[in-house]
Chains A and B, each alone.
Chain A
Amino acid sequence: MVSGAPGMVEQLADFSGAMRTHGIRVGLGDEIDAATALTHLDLLDRHELHRGLRIAFKVLPDAWPTFDRLFEEYWGGTVAPRRTVPKQALPRDHRGPLQWQWDGQRVHLAALDGPEAPSGEVPGYSPEAVLRRKPFDQLSASELAAMERLLARLAIRLATRKSRRLIPTRGRGVVDLRRSFRRALGTEGEFLGLARRARALEEPSLVVLYDTSGSMDSYTRLLLAFAFALRRVMKRVEIFAFNTTLNRITGVIAPARIAQTLERIAAGVPDWSGGTRIGACLAEFVADYKEMMISRHTTVVLVSDGLDHGDTDLLVRSMRDLRERARTIIWLNPLLGDPRYRPAAAGMQAALPFVDHFGPAHNLESLEGLLKFVA
């Protein structure tokens, strides 16, 4: 395919390998495209080669700096190609499985064989109705397990919404002429009944932003458990944790078990259980992820008590940006479960005008209230 350029294909393969090592996704198809492109390019013109390869390898703009650097390295003809050591995998957790535990004051995680293993707690039957109203911060260890199952069920219901696309239906809907005609042919051109189409069920996309600051501690873990359940049933869900910085934790959650994952997240998020700078974190989210993740389909769920230590102006600006783009913004505040609570915190006040639904998140019943806003 590539003629008159011995070694060119090998060089291309090396280059592709280097790009993969540096996190640019390159498939075999891209390599073939690049090799084909080489036959059309003036190989003596470095700039043209650079442009052409970037087009043929389909490099997204965020990866341009890396691409440019590697291009210099591999095609600049000055430095011999050298390989870098691939990133190391996350260290394995060698301790035993963790479990939710209730120490009388708050829920926390502990290793099963640890000294503070539950003692005297009788794993009992929890009637669902009671469980649904019970505040998260008052759950016993066994209730927590039941709660996780309930949350998973709720997640499945959340994960469906109606699309604008129309698909055939037996019930009500708009008339589908194409299918009606086909049917009529079967009955000698008589229209005995009309075929119809209705809106398809569609997976909504959901972005969940969790406040993991100290004031939220007793709720965070269960609410995160809910997010994990969502992650299991929905394809398009993104989960972030924030306190003083923003951390995308979607990737961390994927396959592992809840308890271990939580530990890993807690280790990875600086300032877990520390203070909050909601405005700054939201601004960061808007700057880095808005374009990619927020669309007209997206429901943004913010889980925070609104106790902000940062800049309120920044919070307002970020909320406005989100508002413009997202389908719905839901703010869940666990403190709302307390009848004496008034949303007086400055951050909360500033954010409220941009929120479609402001609700409690202290027990399962309140989370179920979410259904009508997402679906």
Chain B
Amino acid sequence: MNEEIRAMQAAMERGGYIAEPAIATAVFLAKEMKKPLLVEGEAGVGKTEIAKVLAKVLATELIRLQCYEGLDTNTALYEWNYQRQLLRLKIAEREGRDPGKLEELIFGREYLLERPLLRAITRREGPAVLLIDEIDRADDGFEAFLLEVLSDFQITIPELGTIRAEHAPLVVLTSNRTREIGDALRRRCLYLYIEHPDLEKELRILHGKVPGVSEHLARAVSRFVQKLRGRDLRKLPGVAETIDWAQALVRLHRDRLDAETVRDTLGCLLKDEQDLKKTGEDAVAELLAYASAKD
């Protein structure tokens, strides 16, 4: 393995993220090739975490843009500070300023409210990590706009002119695949698909994220969840759910899994009424048998 990729993996692990080689490779390539990284995978597999830990590893700022339906450039890019502009106009009026000069007066950088995208490219202290979260929720139109920003990292504000990136940010996009991301955007990025972790990885994540969990409990919990993911459920529990569950168990001072404990806390793992109903006593007993087996 490339030494630098190994180093990236180790650094991410120190930052609290257990990265398998595929993830470390993707992050490393994105950084070296200066391309955005599109991360897809089911809910709760740790897509957003990648950006967070990356900011930590690079010791830089994480700038986050949460996408939603109807997100527009006012919220993503910039907005004028209207209150200040109004105030300035009034003052100018009192002073009897030349009306022709008004425009220059109020469309300056100090009246500009920077939203995430603009902030990410104007950051002076070095490249930031820009997280564009759940891009699949935004409209197609916004995706097209994003494509433009990501291709040359410059933004044109009619009143101010074009602002070029001081340092191109490292961009991480995440998607839950609720809709297909446009081909054009995907082609502009590097692509990483994260699957649910295997037993060993999940165990290590638990030890890292849940202080006070015993080896015995962590193993039982991981095995239980691994087996649970094999069932026909509508929403499979992700690592985030496993962590929640382990935390709940530690908090309840349970050191081993039994039918009663599982029944009381299953809501940490399964967040769908149908799935809960489907995982009845028999199913739990079967899962428990697997979880507590030696290997």
Interface residues of A (CB under 8 A from B): 25, 27, 29-30, 33, 36-37, 40-42, 45, 47-48, 51-52, 54-61, 163-166, 177-178, 181-182, 184-185, 188-189, 202, 291-292, 295-296, 320-321
Specify which chain A residues have a CB less than 8 angstroms from the CB of B102 in the assembled complex.
Answer: 185, 188-189
Residue in B40, B70, B79, B190 whose beta carbon sits within 8 Å of that of A56 in the complex: B190
Specify which chain A residues have a CB less than 8 angstroms from the CB of B234 in the assembled complex.
Answer: 321
A-B contact pairs, 30 of them (CB 8 A): A25-B183, A30-B187, A33-B33, A37-B29, A41-B2, A42-B1, A45-B2, A51-B21, A51-B22, A51-B26, A52-B29, A54-B22, A55-B25, A58-B187, A58-B191, A60-B191, A61-B193, A61-B195, A164-B139, A166-B70, A166-B72, A177-B82, A178-B79, A181-B85, A182-B159, A188-B99, A189-B92, A189-B99, A292-B177, A320-B274
User: How many Å from the CB of B174 to the closest CB on chain A?
Assistant: 15
Complexed CA–CA distance, A52 and B74 (Å): 37
Specify which chain A residues have a CB less than 8 angstroms from the CB of B40 in the assembled complex.
Answer: 61
Contact A33 B72 (CB under 8 A): no
Specify which chain A residues have a CB less than 8 angstroms from the CB of B89 in the assembled complex.
Answer: 184, 189
User: How many Å from the CB of B176 to the closest CB on chain A?
Assistant: 9
Specify which chain B residues have a CB less than 8 angstroms from the CB of A177 in the assembled complex.
Answer: 80, 82
Cβ-based interface call for B93 (8 A): yes
Cβ-based interface call for B215 (8 A): no
Specify which chain B residues have a CB less than 8 angstroms from the CB of A60 in the assembled complex.
Answer: 191, 193
Nearest 3 pairs of A and B residues by beta carbon = A164-B70, A58-B191, A42-B2
A-B contact sample (19 more), CB < 8 A, given A45-B1, A45-B2, A52-B29: A36-B33, A40-B28, A42-B1, A48-B1, A48-B5, A51-B22, A51-B25, A55-B26, A55-B29, A55-B190, A58-B187, A60-B191, A61-B193, A166-B70, A166-B72, A178-B74, A188-B102, A291-B177, A296-B69
Beta-carbon nearest neighbor of B74 in chain A: A178
Specify which chain A residues have a CB less than 8 angstroms from the CB of B109 in the assembled complex.
Answer: none
Contact B72 A55 (CB under 8 A): no
Specify which chain A residues have a CB less than 8 angstroms from the CB of B4 in the assembled complex.
Answer: 40
User: How many Å from the CB of A173 to the closest CB on chain B?
Assistant: 14
Q: Check A55/B92 contact, CB under 8 A, given A165-B70, A291-B178.
A: no
Specify which chain B residues have a CB less than 8 angstroms from the CB of A45 in the assembled complex.
Answer: 1-2
Residue in B79, B139, B192 whose beta carbon sits within 8 Å of that of A55 in the complex: B192
- Considering the complex, which residues of chain B in the window 188-226 have a beta carbon less than 8 Å from any beta carbon of chain A? 189-193, 195
Contact B187 A27 (CB under 8 A): yes
Cβ-based interface call for B152 (8 A): no
Contact B180 A48 (CB under 8 A): no
Residue in B26, B32, B72, B79 whose beta carbon sits within 8 Å of that of A165 in the complex: B72
Specify which chain B residues have a CB less than 8 angstroms from the CB of A292 in the assembled complex.
Answer: 177, 179-180
Complexed CA–CA distance, A48 and B102 (Å): 59
Q: Which of B1, B33, B191 has the most CB of A within 10 A?
A: B191
Contact B93 A189 (CB under 8 A): yes
User: How many Å from the CB of A53 to the closest CB on chain B?
Assistant: 10
Complexed CA–CA distance, A80 and B255 (Å): 56
Cβ-based interface call for B186 (8 A): yes
Cβ-based interface call for B282 (8 A): no
Cβ-based interface call for B15 (8 A): no
Residue in B70, B159, B190 whose beta carbon sits within 8 Å of that of A33 in the complex: B190
Contact A164 B178 (CB under 8 A): no
Specify which chain A residues have a CB less than 8 angstroms from the CB of B5 in the assembled complex.
Answer: 42, 48
Cβ-based interface call for B141 (8 A): yes
Specify which chain B residues have a CB less than 8 angstroms from the CB of A164 in the assembled complex.
Answer: 69-70, 139
Cβ-based interface call for B47 (8 A): no
Specify which chain A residues have a CB less than 8 angstroms from the CB of B186 in the assembled complex.
Answer: 58
User: How many Å from the CB of A59 to the closest CB on chain B?
Assistant: 7
Beta-carbon nearest neighbor of B272 in chain A: A324
User: How many Å from the CB of A127 to the closest CB on chain B?
Assistant: 41
Specify which chain B residues have a CB less than 8 angstroms from the CB of A48 in the assembled complex.
Answer: 1-2, 5, 21, 25
Complexed CA–CA distance, A188 and B178 (Å): 48
Q: Check A47/B21 contact, CB under 8 A, given A55-B190, A58-B189, A292-B179.
A: yes
Residue in A25, A40, A178, A189 whose beta carbon sits within 8 Å of that of B80 in the complex: A178
- Considering the complex, which residues of chain B in the window 64-118 have a beta carbon less than 8 Å from any beta carbon of chain A? 69-70, 72, 74, 79-80, 82, 85, 89, 92-93, 99, 102-103, 106
Cβ-based interface call for B35 (8 A): yes
Contact B187 A29 (CB under 8 A): yes
- Considering the complex, which residues of chain B in the window 254-274 have a beta carbon less than 8 Å from any beta carbon of chain A? 274
Q: Which of A25, A57, A58, A60 has the most CB of B within 10 A?
A: A58
Complexed CA–CA distance, A58 and B192 (Å): 7
Q: Which of B82, B178, B186, B192 has the most CB of A within 10 A?
A: B178
Complexed CA–CA distance, A270 and B127 (Å): 57
Q: Check A59/B191 contact, CB under 8 A, given A37-B29, A40-B29, A291-B178.
A: yes
Specify which chain A residues have a CB less than 8 angstroms from the CB of B85 in the assembled complex.
Answer: 181
Specify which chain B residues have a CB less than 8 angstroms from the CB of A56 in the assembled complex.
Answer: 29, 190
Complexed CA–CA distance, A119 and B91 (Å): 86
Q: Check A181/B80 contact, CB under 8 A, given A40-B28, A296-B69.
A: yes
Complexed CA–CA distance, A187 and B193 (Å): 54
User: How many Å from the CB of A212 to the closest CB on chain B?
Assistant: 27
User: How many Å from the CB of B188 to the closest CB on chain A?
Assistant: 8
Beta-carbon nearest neighbor of B98 in chain A: A188
Specify which chain A residues have a CB less than 8 angstroms from the CB of B92 in the assembled complex.
Answer: 189
